[in-house]
Chains A and B, each alone.
Chain A
Amino acid sequence: SQKIEQNSEALNIQEGKTATLTCNYTNYSPAYLQWYRQDPGRGPVFLLLIRENEKEKRKERLKVTFDTTLKQSLFHITASQPADSATYLCALPLYSGAGSYQLTFGKGTKLSVIP
Chain B
Amino acid sequence: GAGVSQSPSNKVTEKGKDVELRCDPISGHTALYWYRQSLGQGLEFLIYFQGNSAPDKSGLPSDRFSAERTGGSVSTLTIQRTQQEDSAVYLCASSPNFNEQFFGPGTRLTVL
Count residues on chain A whose CB falls below 8 Å from chain B CBs: 24
Would you give the 0/1 interface string for B54-70, flagging 1 where the beta carbon is closer than 8 Å to chain A?
A: 00111100000000000
Q: Which of B4, B48, B102, B103 contacts A102, CB < 8 Å?
A: B48
Contact, CB under 8 Å: B100 / A96: no
Q: Please determine whether B100 and A34 come into contact, CB atoms closer than 8 angstroms.
A: yes
Chain A residues, Cβ within 8 Å of B106: 41-43
The contact of B100 among A41, A46, A97, A98, by CB within 8 Å, is A46
Residue on A with the closest CB to B104?
A: A43
Judge if B105 is at the interface, Cβ distance under 8 Å: yes
- Rounded to whole Å, the gap between the CB of A11 and the closest CB of chain B is 16
- List chain B residues, Cβ under 8 A from A107: 40-42
Distance in angstroms from A51 CB to nearest chain B CB is 10
B50 CB-CB contact with A under 8 Å: yes
Within 8 A of A (CB), among B36-92: 40-43, 45, 48, 50, 56-59, 91
- By beta carbon, the residue of chain B nearest A99 is B56
Any B CB within 8 A of the CB of A114: no
**Residues of A with Cβ closer than 8 Å to B?**
32, 34, 41-46, 49, 89, 93, 96-108
